[in-house]
Structure 1
Amino acid sequence: MTDRDGFRVDMHVKVLDEKVVRRAKERGLDALVYAPHFMRLPEIRQRAEKFSDDELLVVPAREVFTGTWRNRKHVLAIGLDDPIPDFISLTAAMEEFDRQDAAVLIPHPEFLSVGVTEADIRVHADVIHAVETYNPKHWDRHNRRAKEIVKNTGKPAFGSSYAHLRGTIGEVWTAFGEDIETEDELVELLRAGNTTRVLHRTGRSHELRRRLEFSHLGYENSWKKIDRLVLSGMEATHPDHETYGGKFDDRSVY
């Protein structure tokens, strides 16, 4: 464990390869939580295991897109055993997370059209374990609002780089007071509310990374992506995909 601020976890990244691992180690991280868009849990687990080693733990997770594309609310779940698709109702997703005893985190609350609201957090308070208070894609007002939500709801805070670009890895981390060796240990600490501090880099370089990540939203919300991933119904995490065997037909929003 680092003697500066605890066991460092970048709690939400979208990219993972050799360069990401190298950068994470150079930035002094101890673990990454890997939750790419539109990838099923078995594949996420396989990639996380491939890139984990004695110096860096890579924990698999799912950021589930609940609701419709135009009114989607993202929820990050760690410790899932069974796959859960995107584009089901928020209530349905929460019920599945609870059934599986996952650690449930709220990334970028109330951010644009993709954030869970304070009211949602109150409704599902028994299932939610932490709320993000610092995200590089946020403007300062978004981070201030996120901290206000944490204060109002009494939920523990976490932070992440939310890196869609390799260069953002390690810009933000959540510090824990003890070493974490496995996914189960991280889930246990999160469910118990045992995060310590949210920390991030500062300076001109950090501000540039924040702007680059925000600019990346243009692709994230492009019509081409919407058409390919949502309207076709063929994406691996779409609830109509054959791999789910119709289990979520009554909870799908499409």
Structure 2
Amino acid sequence: MITPRPLKRVFTVLAATLGLAYLLPLVWVILTAFKTNNAVLKNPNSIFFRPTLETFRAVINDGFGAILTSLQITISVTALVLAIGVPAAYALSRHAHPLWNRVATIGLALLLILQMVPQPMTVIPLFSVLANWHVIGTLPGLILADLALLLPYAIIVLRPFVLAIPNVLYEAARIDGASSVQTFFRLTIPMLANGIFTVGAIIFITAWGEFVYAINFLPEGTVLPVSGLLAQQNSQYSANWNTLMALAVLTALPLLIVFLFAQRRLVNGLSLGAVK
């Protein structure tokens, strides 16, 4: 029988091994970003070289438009998903009528099934819809496509957070004379801080790296988001590895900032709303 202390050591070694397996590729990405193209071609795995910022300067100059495009798409998609998803999750959770609960359950099941459809299979139907709305080849059209992709996921994830809010708090709000709108903004929103920041962070990260809709719904010659710019660094015969890695490092910084910010806010979340 394995005692707790040796078992703890086994898990520690396993965790360290897995951490090292994830860390080594990241270290290689960062080191490659500080190399020149000649240094990469001469010895791609070398850890001793003269670092340079030339690649980052070139990436910032050439990729500023792509970063700006990604920010516009990601912020718009995240804001729209939360603006629609939070009230939708609230409406699907707080209605007490049995028939409505059955309808909501069936609707959520259909949303869950639709989430299983591979994203490339939705390109042609969405292309037809966006073309009929005369928004194909525009940023608003791409934002609508991302909204259709991510909104069901947000509703499914947010609903359990709404169900976790005690009914006693809503009864107390009604006794105090609060209207439905006041209850939603003054009670539900603070109580959903945990879920909102969780879903918002996931939606931001997903929309930032979305690739399939970006390359299909934006015409040639337009400024693609960072996901498309990353793909352009690979050609049929070669790849600009230092440019690709420098761009990867720069595009990962907003995601890191969002994750750290959301992680700090998640500590308070639901309990902070309950106290208020």
Larger fraction in strand: 1
TM-score range, shorter chain: under 0.3
Q: Which has the higher contact order (CA 8 A, sep 6+)?
A: 2
- With normalisation by structure 1, the TM-score equals 0.24
- Whose Rg is larger? 2
